[in-house]
Amino acid sequence: MTSEHFRRGYNKHLLHPWANFNELGKDENKTVITRGEGIYIYDADGNRLLDGPAGMWCMQLGYGRPEIAEAVSKQMNQLAYTSSWNVVNDKEIELASRIASKTPGDLNRIFFTTCGSTAVDAALRLCQLASNIKGQPNRKHILSRESAYHGSSFLAASVTGKERDKSAMDVLIDKVHFISEPCFYHHPSFASEEEFCDFLIDELEDKINELGAENIMCFIAEPILASGGVIVPPKDYNYRCWEKVKKYGITYIADEIVTGFGRLGHWFVSEEVMGIVPDIITFAKGITAGHIPLGGYAVSEKFLQELSDDKEGFMYANGFTWSGNPVACAAALASWDIFEKEDVFSHVKEISTYFQQQLKTLEQIPLVGEVRGVGLMAAVEASMQVSNGNDRLEKDYAVGELVDSHCQQLGLLVRPLINLCIISPPLVIIEAQVDELVSILKKGLELTLADLREQGIWQDTELSHNTSNAKRALSS
């Protein structure tokens, strides 16, 4: 059956995340995927696409790994389900102990959920409960950052700071506070990253003092802001935030849902890369190499001990039908075995230098304002030139969509995000495939620029053909 056939069914019956109701049921171009192999996916007409976003930051090992399929099938035959309300299964015990062996400090207690949003939600609810148990019912304010993405449950969406996601949907407003996104490129008024970092840390401290440290429940932060545009904070920013937050006795939650399980070549980056020991680390996505939904958090033993001293009547009334599901845990264990056996994370550390270098060459295209990233996560951001005027957002959306559609024609799936393209391929990508990815993206960006020139959206100025720093200086 062809894509056309499937598309009819999609338009008739499906409501997808982030749907625009004005366009519901009218998408003539929706890509219909029916198969995956290695780092490629195939549409219903047999066209091959390199999976630039690795699903959604999650298909660490690519597609068609028989070891994971066999582990899942075996587990389904042996034991498909247990309820955490009544019993515990062998696979969740094994997985929890492996996770505890990789988390920093005393983060040895693991709570399993069904995805990233439920992991964030469950961690925040644990913090709320902790405030109540400790007799600090006013300690409920949450600090987050602009451009952060933490998920889609009510609480996780509430702590999300992405501009685009501030839609008409309700969120918790009065208890969530956003400080600036740590993106140097978006803040051209600062002369250096150091100066910008000092500003960010002062801003954090001012906010703590304004709210009163005793009223702040937690600070939640992705080490690298992923869906907000692969924002790599200034050097030492994460460490200095952690230091400040701990100085005031506030709980630090590291959201490692994207950075965990190999995207930067580490099980977790909190300690190994940033040198910090959070109180809670959330994870999801890569833990099953994207094969089966599973999320959770690791929490410090000390954090929990403070909740158990002779307190009565408090209980962690929070959990999910599929918490610690044995099939999901079996998929995670099988993925884990491959990560170790094939030394996938060492490969990430090696290939990511090449990956970032090659992507950086795209800054030669006038349309590109900045290419930034770390490990196997990167964003190509269209120049600020496109973003001026009242119809800024409309033009920016047009850029992302044009790049995406040209790249798909050429055999690459990118993740358009307003004026950005996010690239986070499967961890097993090799050099020749990086070359393929970058050369298609280059062509896609050039074709987009030609379209924008034709539509009069883009005018060549002296900014053209400059590097990102020069563009930055000129646009400030």
- CA 256, CA 268: separation in Å to the nearest integer? 7
Could you tell me how many residues make up the chain?
476
Is 116 or 416 the residue whose CB approaches ligand PLP more closely? 116
| Among 115, 280, 434, 441, contact with ligand PLP (rule: CB under 6 A) | 115
Q: How far is the CB of 149 from ligand PLP (least distance, A)?
A: 5
DSSP secondary structure string for all residues of 276-344: ---SEEEE-GGGGTTSS--EEEEE-HHHHHTT-SS--S-------TTTT-HHHHHHHHHHHHHHHHTTH
Show the binding pattern over residues 396-425: x = contacts ligand PLP (CB under 6 A), - = does not: ------------------------------
Is 116 or 425 the residue whose CB approaches ligand PLP more closely? 116
Q: How far is the CB of 194 from ligand PLP (least distance, A)?
A: 26
| Among 145, 150, 162, 442, contact with ligand PLP (rule: CB under 6 A) | 150
Is 153 or 358 the residue whose CB approaches ligand PLP more closely? 153
Six token digits for residue 162: 């992405």
| Among 96, 257, 298, 413, contact with ligand PLP (rule: CB under 6 A) | 257
The answer for residues whose C-beta is within 8 angstroms of residue 471's C-beta and 6 or more apart is 369, 370, 383, 384, 463
- CA 372, CA 337: separation in Å to the nearest integer? 31
Q: How many residues bind ligand PLP (CB under 6 A)?
A: 16
**Residue number closest to ligand PLP, CB atom:** 116
- CA 277, CA 264: separation in Å to the nearest integer? 17
In single-letter form, the type of residue at position 346 comes to: S
- CA 401, CA 290: separation in Å to the nearest integer? 25
Q: How far is the CB of 147 from ligand PLP (least distance, A)?
A: 11
Q: How far is the CB of 150 from ligand PLP (least distance, A)?
A: 5
- CA 129, CA 123: separation in Å to the nearest integer? 10
Is 297 or 458 the residue whose CB approaches ligand PLP more closely? 297
The answer to whether residue 133 forms part of the interface with ligand PLP (CB under 6 A) is: no
- CA 141, CA 124: separation in Å to the nearest integer? 11
| Among 3, 131, 227, 419, contact with ligand PLP (rule: CB under 6 A) | 227
From the list 213, 243, 342, the residue with the least C-alpha distance to 289 is 342
- CA 140, CA 137: separation in Å to the nearest integer? 7
The answer to whether residue 149 forms part of the interface with ligand PLP (CB under 6 A) is: yes
Q: How far is the CB of 114 from ligand PLP (least distance, A)?
A: 8
- Contact positions with ligand PLP (CB under 6 A) in 55-94: 56
Six token digits for residue 64: 């068609």
The answer to whether residue 53 forms part of the interface with ligand PLP (CB under 6 A) is: no
Q: Which stretch binds ligand PLP (CB under 6 A): 115-123, 204-212, 354-362, 464-472?
A: 115-123
| Among 31, 75, 117, 131, contact with ligand PLP (rule: CB under 6 A) | 117
Q: How far is the CB of 118 from ligand PLP (least distance, A)?
A: 7
The answer to whether residue 147 forms part of the interface with ligand PLP (CB under 6 A) is: no
Q: How far is the CB of 148 from ligand PLP (least distance, A)?
A: 8
- CA 231, CA 182: separation in Å to the nearest integer? 7
The answer for residues whose C-beta is within 8 angstroms of residue 442's C-beta and 6 or more apart is 361, 362, 365
- CA 47, CA 67: separation in Å to the nearest integer? 26
Q: How far is the CB of 224 from ligand PLP (least distance, A)?
A: 9
Q: How far is CA 101 from the centre of its chain?
A: 23
Between β-strands 377-382 and 420-423, what pairing exists: parallel, antiparallel or unpaired? antiparallel
Show the binding pattern over residues 277-296: x = contacts ligand PLP (CB under 6 A), - = does not: -------x------------
The answer to whether residue 146 forms part of the interface with ligand PLP (CB under 6 A) is: no
The answer to whether residue 116 forms part of the interface with ligand PLP (CB under 6 A) is: yes
Six token digits for residue 438: 């970058």
The answer to whether residue 258 forms part of the interface with ligand PLP (CB under 6 A) is: yes
E strand or H helix at 410? helix 392-410
Show the binding pattern over residues 297-336: x = contacts ligand PLP (CB under 6 A), - = does not: ----------------------------------------
From the list 346, 400, 290, the residue with the least C-alpha distance to 41 is 290
- CA 257, CA 271: separation in Å to the nearest integer? 15
Six token digits for residue 89: 């299964």
Residue with tokens 């006013």: 138
Q: How far is the CB of 220 from ligand PLP (least distance, A)?
A: 9
Q: Which stretch binds ligand PLP (CB under 6 A): 59-67, 114-122, 319-327, 397-405?
A: 114-122
Q: How far is the CB of 155 from ligand PLP (least distance, A)?
A: 11
Is 124 or 399 the residue whose CB approaches ligand PLP more closely? 124
Distances (CA, A) of 154 to 67, 104, 118, 170, 434: 36, 29, 10, 8, 38
Six token digits for residue 50: 């390199």
Is 72 or 120 the residue whose CB approaches ligand PLP more closely? 120
Binding site for ligand PLP (CB under 6 A): 56, 115-117, 120, 149-152, 222, 226-227, 255, 257-258, 284
